[in-house]
Amino acid sequence: MSIFIFEMKGNIKSILIWASAVPFFLFLYMAFFPSLAASPDSFNSIMEEFPAEVMALMGINPDLPMMTIMGYFSLTMSFVMIPVAIQASNYGFNILSVEERELTADFLLTKPISRRKIYVSKFSAAFLSLTITNAAIWIASLLAFALYKGNEDPEMFKVIVFLSSIALFQLFFLTVGMLISVMVKKVPSVISFSMALGFGMFIVSSLGKMLSSEFLDVLSPYNHFDPGFMLIDGTYDLIPTIISIIIITTSLFASYFLYLRRNIASL
Amino acid sequence: MNVIEFNNLTKYYGDVKGCKNVDFNVKEGEIFGFIGPNGAGKSTTIRTMLSLIYPTSGSVTIFGKDAIKDGPEIRKEIGYLPSEIFYYDKMKVIDLLKYSASFYDKDCDERIYELAEIMELDLERKIQDLSYGNKKKVGIVQGLLHSPKLLILDEPTSGLDPLMQQKFFHLISEENKKGVTVLFSSHILSEVQQLCNRVAIIKDGEIISIQDIKALKDDTYKKFTFKGENLNNGKFNIEGVTQLKESNDIVSFFFKGDVNSIVKIIKDLNLTDITVEEPTLEEIFMHYYE
């Protein structure tokens, strides 16, 4: 049994939970759209009460009215991306640190296998696990559009463009998590690290929107693949996307070299 | 032929010394003892051999290949038993052993069952339900199942009851007869004496002596303590006695030599109690550890 299969087996429970809970939440949220669309006036009057900053915080863009299924989907996705980020960070912080935390390094790393192979196997298994969640989100989104679009004729290619960005979004959290996990001496608790990264980036992005700070915008992948932008323009926002790709590539290489050179301390 | 060659191996963790200028060889077919108190650098040295840690300077050569560069290749023929055993808790013993076997290009099934029977290990239990001693047995089977040419045992007997210890020693001797080289790290002298041909003594990260076990045995000190009356008379100040502590009613010292000379002295004394002890490792190597 290869490390890849071993890792996948270990992930099964986590895959099942994330790949069903996240799309379920998405779908449930979308299911409210028809009743909302049926009484736009009352909803609009509520929305007018909110100051612009709060609207921005919630990811509501004046160019993408909530009354359209596109606008509503954009709002939904800005929240759905949080658990997606947390799942990706979970794997990121876990895969390279688990052997040391659970003290199984003396088992795995003394086998006739290079750390390069271990790294590649673990990374591939984590990415495949995330892709399963990603695929489930695709299915849930497309299904929700088919069921709830009503009389609207949404531009589906824009939805597809946005959905295609989820993989990069996941990679960002996966690789940054991996890098941090090999830079620190020990990751005592994966969940606290991944909550901090997943939520932290969301807060950074919200602050960036509220304060219109370009610096904060550049920092957070929630902004790099902002559903508000992508669902209006139907394209990737070029500069932030390039920044994301640079961060992903750098994290990947740096974590690889640090993992290869890491001293696995005894107990 | 040398199976293991340490070439001035040095490892610092930041400013903290792990080991320094470790330089010795282990020959093919030897059972080589590696002895020193806790924290002396035994594990650091061993972990460098397995490329779990990287040397600051110097190198280790195993089977004529560099332990870091050719690590995966070398580890095909190494069986390692760590001092503390931790495995994937939720797995069953047999699944863990099969996972372990899957890393080697040979069929290990038969050997797994054979070893499990010798060590009286229940293969169907979950790792998390095992006692410390039973986990150790899993470790032993795991280290031997691929019939390695070099066995690295890091304090292997802790947690095993005396009966199991004897079985384990027997197993190691059997492997050794087949030509397997063994590096046996321990802080218990008696088990090293029982098994090893040669021994390296490590202190504060540096090898301070390499000795033949046979010579070491002839060298063995005994620790004598006598209680009685009027002992404070200098009678015990003979050749072979060291660390002599005398008072009126208690005398203690280390002695190396013909015990009859001690018997001759005490036969005229009025004693209330005698203890003759095997000195501890630290006491035996007193001159190294002072």
Phi-psi domain of B124 (left: phi exceeds 0; alpha: psi -120 through 50; beta: other): alpha
Sequence ranges of the domains in chain B: 2-218, 222-289
**Same fold across B2-218 and B222-289:** no
In this complex, which of A1, A113, A264 lies closest to B52 when CB atoms are compared?
A: A264
**Per-residue confidence (pLDDT) for residue B208, from 0 to 100:** 86
B83 CB neighbours in chain A (<8 A) are 266-267
**Which residue in B has a C-alpha nearest to residue A101's C-alpha?**
B86
Task: Determine contact, residues B223/B276, Cβ cutoff 8 Å.
Answer: yes
DSSP class per residue in B151-191? EEEESTTTT--HHHHHHHHHHHHHHHHTT-EEEEEES-HHH
Question: CA-to-CA distance for B278 and B255, rounded, in angstroms?
Answer: 11
Question: What is the distance in angstroms between the Cα of A147 and the nearest Cα belonging to chain B?
Answer: 43
Pairing of strands B241-246, B78-81: unpaired
Percentage of chain B lying above the pLDDT 70 cut: 94
In this complex, which of A102, A106, A111 lies closest to B82 when CB atoms are compared?
A: A106
A114 near B CB under 8 A: yes
Question: What is the distance in angstroms between the Cα of A90 and the nearest Cα belonging to chain B?
Answer: 19
**Per-residue confidence (pLDDT) for residue B282, from 0 to 100:** 59
B73 near A CB under 8 A: yes
Tell me whether residues B84 and A103 touch, CB distance under 8 A. Answer: yes
pLDDT digits (tens, 9 = 90+) for B153-195: 998 888 788 888 888 999 999 999 999 999 999 887 777 877 8
A2 near B CB under 8 A: yes
pLDDT band at residue A37, thresholds of 50, 70 and 90? confident
Tell me whether residues B142 and A107 touch, CB distance under 8 A. Answer: yes
Average pLDDT, chain B: 86
Average pLDDT over residues A129-137: 96
B44 near A CB under 8 A: yes
B87 near A CB under 8 A: yes
DSSP class per residue in A177-189? HHHHHHHSS--S-
Percentage of chain A lying above the pLDDT 90 cut: 55
pLDDT digits (tens, 9 = 90+) for B92-133: 999 999 999 999 988 888 999 999 998 889 999 998 898 888
Architecture of the domain delimited by B2-218:
3-Layer(aba) Sandwich (3.40)
In this complex, which of A104, A114, A265 lies closest to B86 when CB atoms are compared?
A: A104
Question: CA-to-CA distance for A76 and B26, rounded, in angstroms?
Answer: 66
For residue B41, pLDDT over 70 is answered with yes
Question: What is the distance in angstroms between the Cα of A127 and the nearest Cα belonging to chain B?
Answer: 22
pLDDT band at residue B217, thresholds of 50, 70 and 90? low
Question: CA-to-CA distance for A91 and B286, rounded, in angstroms?
Answer: 51
Task: Determine contact, residues A266/A105, Cβ cutoff 8 Å.
Answer: no
For residue B233, pLDDT over 90 is answered with no
For residue B281, pLDDT over 90 is answered with no
Q: Under 8 Å CB-to-CB from B239, ≥6 apart: which residues? A: B257
CATH number of B222-289: 3.30.70
Confidence check on the interface: ipTM exceeds 0.85, yes or no: no
Question: Reduced to 3 states, what is the DSSP secondary structure of residue A46?
Answer: helix
Residue B120 exposure: Cα atoms within 13 Å on the Cβ side: 8
**Which residue in A has a C-alpha nearest to residue B143's C-alpha?**
A107
